[in-house]
Amino acid sequence: MLNLLTKNLFLFDPLSLFFLSVIFVVSLPSLIYSFSYLKGEYSAAKITLAQILLLAFVLSMAFVVSVNNCLIFLIFWEIMSLVSYLLVIFDTKHARSVQAGLIYIVMTHTGTAFIIAAFMILHNNAHSFDFFAIKSACQTMPYQTKNIVFLLFLIGFGTKAGIVPLHIWLPYAHPQAPSHISSIMSGVMIKTAIYGIIRFVIFILGVNSSWWGILVLILAVISCLVGVIYALMEHDIKRLLAYHSVENIGIILLGVGLAMFFTSLGLPYLAVFSLIAGLYHLINHAIFKGLLFLCAGSVYKATGTRDIEKLGGLIKKMPQTAAYFLLGAMAISALPPLNGFVSEWLTLQAFFLGAFNVIGGNKLFLGICAAMLALTSGLAAACFVKVFGVTFLAKPRSHYAESAKEVALPMRIGMLILAVLIVIFGLAAVPIIRLLAKVSGSSLGIDISSMSFSLNNLTVTPQIVKDIYLSTPSLALWFALLGIAGFAIYRIFGRGRRVVYKTWDCGYYKIDSRNEYTATAFSKPFRIAFSFFLLPYRKTQKIRESFYHIKSFSYETYTTKVFKKYIYDPVLAIVFKIAKSMRRIQPGSIHLYLGYIFITLLLLIIFMGQL
Amino acid sequence: MIIILQIILFILTAPLLSGLITKIKNNLRMRKGQSIIQPYYNLAKLFSKDEVISETSSWIFRVAPFVVLSSTLVAAILIPVFIFAAPAYQIGDFLVLVFIFALGRFFLALSALDTASSFGGMGASREMFISSLVEPALCMVIFAISLHFGSTDISSFSGMHAITVSSVVSAIALFLIVIAETSRIPIDNQETHLELTMVHEAMVLEYSGRSLALIEVASYVKQMIFFFLIAQLIFPIGLPLGNFTQMFLWIIWCITRIVIIAITVALVEVSLAKMRLFRVADFLGFAFVLGVIATVCAILGV
């Protein structure tokens, strides 16, 4: 152990530096935000505890992405998991928090077990925990072992990242933590798993068969769709955002999976390009999801509820929070010229460019994946129209929303920083792509000096046939110019007055917030279209005054959580069954226990004698 | 300069196209029908009228018409019309077009929710439902086209090219998508204001006066853009542009092919009934499958 400490423990290559910057870009605004978010929610002692935990959390993540040794990596990985567990159960007064924490810690440790197994196999081969020693040993590793290690890593890191069907903990754990922690967990912590995949699978293990990439792509597509479809059904604002994290991890993994796919097909420049797209979406997601969680926290702080069906009209009460949320929603829905648009366009472009270079059925596979990404982005836009429209627009639906006030200055500053970053990462795409090219090139071990990224002409020589164009600044400029031109025409040629009057009410005397479209109603077409997967069911209850007269009627709709019902519940049932049968050997008798100890001792002595 | 010229051309001629379709539809139904230039009268009238703004609405409702208009016009300058390259091709390719339309739609749907009217919410919900199903089909078609022509650049298929199975199937799939995108029968109905059937009209129900005029112009332009794309795919320009006569013929050909598509749209609208909302998934699923077929054809090189 001492030997370990004397060596050079840290690794600051472009990949680590990139992840470090992602961590701090989201953590700093969240820290600023936390100062007034925690105030009033908890006691002074608990606030201090929260800040210490936050610091430990951020530092452990920073160490995870910058150490150079598997063993140390595991230690910080574990610290990160435990500290985040403590933050998930921070609201101990809610029973839900404790339950969420339990699901989280069980899942995350299952994942860690797989990672440990992978590390053990690697150590067995390399006889060292050092990254570079393992990397050089991996070159001569047998094909079969590599496949096993890859699968172990995929399950292990996939659990942390929240790939479907290992996503089950995410919608429980993320919403329960305080909002600034949710923003770090969703924005950054799940990205450390992506770091793990890039570092250990792409960088150290080295991709050598194309089914790795295909497997990752398929899982990514499933994660995208499942995440966004569940998000559409969800009306708890923070849980909805957590489901969107599942979706966005899928989009990031599309880039990563493509990079693996192209590497195995011997298309290094396309691999670099795809990884750029994945990494770009990674940092973008960190920024906009961080922002959205902070905004959701502000809404919660101002209204005391996370149920969007009870909100509404907040744009008038909280204009700044609303504007930031709108920006975040536009970014996550991939609307130009913001950052989410750039990275989704890059990912789609990676599919298209790949299709020009691969042959036969692979082309069709890439095309269908691209189409599924398009479907995801369409559904995400619908979901955010729902969230923003129902939460911030129209009339307040309850007294919670009516009494809302704009949040304190530190919280607004935290949100402002991330909002500005969304715009910057959208407009300054080219320099960022150039930076990411270095990260991507070094992780894939490819010399990128022959690739060029000029202002709006993305040329990736020598594998791209034609130039492709995207210039977000000029796009933004044209939007602004034509918008202003439209406004000028509106002012100059329009002769009528503007009259503020009530919404058309079909001739009835009064419409109130009960006439508004609800989030449930908004998502109904989706619930029906995807009913083969969501398996919706309803519960109706009639309260009768007499046989003839029904006094009130209640109606609730639910969707079946397919993965929980058909995968996790049976597994849990088996675990409990085994535990029950294990109980027989543990009846509480001290004599029996002494007997166990004696038998163990005897067995040990016998085995020792044989050695 | 050519960019501004193109924008003006789109704004000036797009309403005419809509008027033409309405006229053909009415004639097919044995009616006399309104004049072809009726959309211009409508716009002029809307511009001179007072505008009512809902008191529950916020700045989103006021800003949305400008966002919708400007995003549609940006899409218009990405389309090659006068020459083989789009005037502003450096700012984006075919894929960007999809995202640009999404921007306008996003704001229009929000503005519909902003009015607190259940019509608006219903329209927004349905529109987002349809458009989210349009996206994979459209992406698949773009994929097929760009595989066939070797680039996602729109100008790659705007010049002379041979008509192949792939481009024809893509054009048919694109046609189905256009029906959904321009809110026409059997997906939606531009002429109805019945709450059970309207989608796009429900979204813009609260708009009046000048704002409505801007949104109308945007939908006309959007329709024109899609017609141009189909025309380029299925009726490529097969004429050299040497002298004045050829130039004249070229213009005639450009107009003719748009008119042919307009007639087809009118025929489809007159001969079909509106679908139930949940059948739309099948309709667009069919478009998606056509996109897949077009991709397979492109891979096979036919």
pLDDT at B238: 59
How large is the ipTM? 0.95
Nearest CA in chain B to A337: B100
A-facing residues of B in 216-275 (CB < 8 A) are none
Pairwise CB contact (< 8 Å): A382 & B151: no
Chain mean pLDDT for chain A? 89
pLDDT-derived band at B84 (thresholds 50, 70, 90) equals low
- Touching check for B11 and chain A: CB below 8 Å? no
Angstroms from B291 CA to nearest CA on chain A: 10
**Residue of A316, A333, A352 to mutate, interface with B, max B Cβ within 10 Å:** A352
Rounded to 5 degrees, what are φ and ψ at A539?
-120, 125
Kindly list the residues from chain A whose CB atom is less than 8 angstroms away from the CB atom of residue B92.
469-471, 475
CB contact under 8 A, A521 and B109: no
Chain A residues closer than 8 Å to B150 by CB:
356, 465-466
Whole-angstrom Cα distance, residue A503 to residue A581? 66
The pLDDT of A335-352, averaged and rounded, is 92
* Residue among A336, A516, A525 minimizing CB distance to B277: A525
Per residue in A242-267, pLDDT (tens digit) is 999 999 999 999 999 999 999 999 88
CA distance A228 to chain B (A): 12
Helices (H), A65-142: 70-88, 95-126, 131-138
The span from the CA of A232 to the CA of A238, in Å, is: 13
Of all residues in chain A, what percent carry a pLDDT higher than 90?
Answer: 61
pLDDT for A356: 86
User: Can you tell me the mean pLDDT for B208-226?
Assistant: 93
pLDDT of residue A1: 45
Residue A499: phi, psi to the nearest 5? -115, 130
- Strands (E) in A349-451, as ranges, are none
SS (H, E, C) chain B: CHHHHHHHHHHHHHHHHHHHHHHHHHHHCCCCCCCCCHHHHHHHHHHHCCEEEECCCCHHHHHHHHHHHHHHHHHHHCCCCCCCCCCCHHHCCHHHHHHHHHHHHHHHHHHHHHCCCHHHHHHHHHHHHHHHHHHHHHHHHHHHHHHHHCCCCHHHHCCCCCCCHHHHHHHHHHHHHHHHHCCCCCCCCCCCCCCCCCCHHHHCCCCCHHHHHHHHHHHHHHHHHHHHHHHHHHCCCCCCCCCHHHHHHHHHHHHHHHHHHHHHHHHHHHHCCCCCHHHHHHHHHHHHHHHHHHHHHHHHCC
How confident is the model over A263-289, as pLDDT tens digits?
999 888 889 889 999 999 999 999 999
Q: Which of A332-346, A451-465, B115-129, B257-271 has the lowest mean pLDDT?
A: A451-465
Interchain contact, B90 vs A471, CB within 8 Å: yes
Strand, helix or coil at A337? coil
CA atoms within 13 A on the CB side of B158: 22
Substitution target from B54, B60, B69, B96 for chain A, most A beta carbons within 10 A: B96
CA distances from residue B2 to A210, A470, B83 in whole angstroms, order as listed? 47, 20, 10
Locate the domains of chain B by residue range.
2-300
Query: For residue B223, which amino acid is it?
Result: Q
Interface with chain B: mutation pick from A478, A487, A501, A508, highest number of B CBs within 10 Å: A478
- Is A503 close to B56, i.e. CB distance below 8 A? yes
Q: What is the separation, in whole angstroms, between the first and last Cα of chain B?
A: 39
Q: Is the CB of A335 less than 8 angstroms away from the CB of B291?
A: no
All residues of chain A having their beta carbon less than 8 Å from the beta carbon of residue B115 are 394, 503
pLDDT value at residue A522: 93
Query: What pLDDT score was predicted for residue A494?
Result: 77
- How far the first Cα of chain A sits from its last, in Å, is 27
Give the strand pairing for A550-559 and A536-544. antiparallel
Chain A, nearest residue to B133 by Cα = A375
Instruction: In whole angstroms, give the CA distance from residue A264 to residue A217.
Output: 14
Per-residue pLDDT tens over the stretch A365-415: 999 999 999 999 999 999 999 999 999 998 899 998 888 899 999 999 999
- pLDDT of B234 reads 85
Identity of the residue in A330, A372, A469 whose CB atom sits nearest the CB atom of B89: A469
Q: How far apart are CA A105 and CA A101, in angstroms?
A: 6
Mean pLDDT of A567-591: 89
Q: Which residues does chain B have within 8 Å of residue A390's beta carbon, measured at their own beta carbons? A: 113
> What is the model's pTM?
0.93
Asked if A557 and A549 touch (Cβ cutoff 8 Å), the reply is no
Residues B252-281, mean pLDDT to the nearest whole number: 91
Q: Which residues of B touch A363 (CB under 8 A)?
A: 147, 295, 299
Mean pLDDT throughout B7-30?
A: 92
Q: If pLDDT is split at 50, 70 and 90, which confidence band does A232 have?
A: very high
Rounded mean pLDDT, A590-606: 92
Angle at the Cα of B10 from the Cα atoms of B9 and B12, rounded to 5 degrees: 65
Q: For position A11, what pLDDT does the model report?
A: 85
> Between chains, do B139 and A374 touch, taking CB under 8 Å as contact?
yes
As a whole number, the mean pLDDT across chain B is 89
Q: Cβ A371–B291 below 8 Å, yes or no?
A: yes
Task: Grade residue B83 by pLDDT with cuts at 50, 70 and 90.
Answer: low
Question: Can you give the pLDDT at residue A466?
Answer: 58
Is the pLDDT at B90 greater than 50? The verdict is: yes
Secondary structure percentages of chain A, helix, strand, coil, to 5: 75, 5, 20
Give the model's confidence band at A456: pLDDT under 50 very low, under 70 low, under 90 confident, else very high.
low
Q: What is the pLDDT at residue A323?
A: 96
Q: How far is A231 from chain B (nearest CA, A)?
A: 14
Q: What Å distances lie between residue A18 and A13, A24, A251, B263, CA to CA?
A: 9, 10, 18, 56
pLDDT value of residue A446: 82
Going from N- to C-terminal start, the domains of chain A cover 7-474, 527-560, 564-610
CA-only gyration radius of chain B, Å: 19
B7 shares contact with chain A (CB less than 8 Å): yes
Tell me what percent of the residues of chain A surpass a pLDDT of 70.
Answer: 96
Q: How confident is the model at residue A455 (pLDDT cuts 50, 70, 90)?
A: very low
Q: How far is A226 from chain B (nearest CA, A)?
A: 15
CA atoms within 13 A on the CB side of A459: 11
- Tell me how many degrees the CA angle B231-B234-B237 measures, rounded to the nearest 5: 70
Tell me how many degrees the CA angle A262-A335-A423 measures, rounded to the nearest 5: 95
Range 164-223 of B in CB contact (< 8 A) with A: 205-206, 209-211, 214
Search chain A and give the residue with CA nearest B139. A371
User: Would you state the pLDDT for residue A206?
Assistant: 86
Residue in A351, A355, A394 nearest the CB of B56? A394
> Pick from A470, A475, A504: which is nearest to B74 by CB?
A475
Q: Is the pLDDT of residue B251 over 90?
A: no
- Yes or no: say if A273 and A214 are a contact pair by the CB < 8 Å rule: no
Name the minimum distance, in Å, from the CA of B220 to any CA of chain A. 15
The pLDDT assigned to B197 comes to 82
pLDDT digits 0-9 by tens, A506-557: 787 777 888 889 999 999 999 999 999 989 898 888 888 888 888 888 888 8
- Kindly list the residues from chain B whose CB atom is less than 8 angstroms away from the CB atom of residue A375: 132-133, 135-136, 139
- B123-140: average pLDDT: 94
Yes or no, beta carbons of A371 and B137 under 8 Å apart:
yes
The pLDDT > 70 percentage for chain B reads 95
Alpha-carbon distance A274 to A258, whole Å? 6
Q: Who among A381, A465, A475 is closest to B132 (CB)?
A: A381
Q: Across the interface, do A389 and B114 touch by the CB < 8 Å criterion?
A: yes
The reply to whether residue A469 touches residue B93, judged by beta carbons under 8 angstroms, is yes
| Model confidence pLDDT, tens digit, residues B279-292 | 999 999 999 999 99
Q: From CA A381, how far away is CA A383, in angstroms rounded?
A: 5
Interface A-B: count of C-beta contacts within 8 A: 284
| Pairwise CA distance, residues B66 & B41, whole Å | 21
What region, left, alpha or beta, does residue A24 occupy, with left being phi > 0 and alpha being psi -120 to 50 degrees? alpha
B130 Cα to chain A: minimum distance (Å): 9
